[in-house]
């Protein structure tokens, strides 16, 4: 697989990464751990060198899974994890917590769970309005100086906060949702990242599975699946939003690619410093996603996608209102 550098940093990773959250969290019952370890290791065999996790996924069990799976590949792969939530003894999130002392505690615990000597990329999971971002960036800077962290990242942050953090400790990557059905980052975030030399790591690059073309208004999700509370996934909104999937399928027929591959190839074509991290628990999906690296979209292809997409109105919010309030700060 081709490699990409995240912004102006020296952090070089595979053009497509692997989001590991769904292997233990958010999309229904967790799959078998041994099968997920095998899947992660297969991803390495296929050229993936960039893996995304967080202490909040589970919580904790996703980091443990990723750490165990990637232990044989120390020094050959990049693992990104996150801090920023207070987690109770019962495993429930108790709100945000990016106090300097908490960041340090999380870093130490993540190092143990990931079985690494240094965290490759340490994201603030969500902006904490109760802690000045300068204090957050300064704490990560100290961890970098101590050799416990290599690079600093942010997730779902707004441009003013990104600039303030970047002035204290250079931000290597911003992770936020971005895909053909969530394009808000194009308004302010992408121009700012380009100006500052910060890489962009889109999560949910396949619209939480919708852009694969395997979900319609009749699809039933497990009761524990996060998508049950997402407005964009109501049956009526899914039915309306299939127009976007039809567009991807139409382009895919001509390029001999799947809708998912076209969606990922579109992201890769946006900027050379964009690295999407689609998640999956299935080998055939992993292989399909990685195959997007071989799909070359021409300027005519991109124009056709842009023209057609501009005529499609995506229906439904991407998050429930209370979750959306945590983003773009």
Domain ranges of the chain: 3-324
3-state secondary structure string, the chain? CCEEECCCCCCEEECCCEECHHHCCCECCCCCHHHHHHHHHHHHHCCCCEEECCCCCCCCHHHHHHHHHHHHHCCCCEEEEEECEEECCCCCEEEECCCHHHHHHHHHHHHHHHCCCCEEEEEECCCCCCCCHHHHHHHHHHHHHCCCEEEEEEECCCHHHHHHHHHHCCEEEEEEECECCECHHHCCHHHHHHHHCCEEEEECCCCCCHHHCCCCCCCCCCCCEHHHHCHHHCHHHHHHHHHHHHHHHHHHHHHCCCHHHHHHHHHHHHCCCECCCCECCCHHHHHHHHHHHHCCCCHHHHHHHHHHHHCCCCCCCCCCHHHHCCCCC
The answer to whether residue 319 is catalytic is no
pLDDT for the residue 269: 98
Q: What pLDDT shows up at residue 93? A: 85
The per-residue pLDDT string of the chain (329 residues; one tens digit each, 9 = 90 and over) reads: 999 999 999 999 999 999 999 999 888 899 999 999 999 999 999 999 999 999 999 999 999 999 999 999 999 999 999 999 999 988 888 899 999 999 999 999 999 999 999 999 999 999 999 999 999 999 999 999 999 999 999 999 999 999 999 999 999 999 999 999 999 999 999 999 999 999 999 999 999 999 999 999 999 999 999 999 999 999 999 999 999 999 999 999 999 999 999 999 999 999 999 999 999 999 999 999 999 999 999 999 999 999 999 999 999 999 999 999 999 99
pLDDT at 117: 97
Catalytic residue of the set 27, 57, 151, 319: 57
Whole-model pTM above 0.95?
A: yes
What is the per-residue pLDDT for 286? 98
Instruction: For domain 3-324, say whether CATH 3.30.1330.60 is its number.
Output: no
């Amino acid at each position: 697989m081709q490699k990409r550098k995240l912004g102006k940093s020296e952090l070089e990773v595979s053009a497509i990464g692997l989001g590991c959250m769904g292997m233990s969290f958010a999309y229904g019952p967790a799959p078998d751990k041994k099968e997920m370890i095998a899947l992660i290791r297969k991803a390495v065999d296929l050229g993936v060198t960039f893996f995304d996790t967080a202490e909040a996924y589970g919580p904790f069990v996703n980091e443990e899974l990723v750490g165990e799976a990637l232990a044989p590949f120390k020094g050959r792969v990049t693992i990104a994890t996150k801090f920023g939530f207070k987690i109770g003894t019962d495993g429930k999130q108790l709100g945000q917590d990016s106090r300097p002392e908490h960041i340090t505690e999380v870093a130490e615990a993540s190092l143990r769970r990931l079985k690494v000597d240094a965290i490759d990329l340490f994201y603030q999971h969500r902006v904490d309005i109760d802690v000045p971002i300068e204090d957050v960036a300064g704490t990560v800077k100290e961890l970098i100086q101590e050799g416990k962290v290599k690079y600093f990242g942010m997730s779902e942050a707004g441009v003013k906060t990104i600039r303030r953090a970047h002035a204290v400790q250079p931000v290597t990557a911003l992770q936020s949702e971005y895909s053909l059905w969530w394009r808000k980052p194009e308004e302010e975030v992408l121009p700012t990242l380009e100006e500052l030399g910060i890489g962009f790591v889109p999560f949910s690059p396949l619209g939480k599975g919708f852009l694969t073309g395997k979900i319609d208004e009749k699809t039933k999700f497990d009761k524990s699946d996060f998508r049950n509370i997402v407005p964009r996934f109501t049956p009526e909104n899914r039915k309306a939003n299939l127009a976007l999937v039809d567009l991807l399928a139409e382009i895919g027929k001509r390029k001999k690619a799947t809708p998912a591959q076209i969606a990922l190839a579109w992201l890769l074509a946006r900027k050379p410093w964009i690295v999407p991290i689609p998640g999956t628990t299935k080998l055939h999906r992993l292989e399909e996603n990685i195959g997007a690296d071989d799909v070359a979209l021409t300027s005519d292809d991109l124009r056709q996608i842009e023209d057609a997409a501009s005529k499609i109105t995506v229906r439904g919010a991407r998050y429930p209102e209370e979750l959306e309030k945590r983003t773009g700060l």
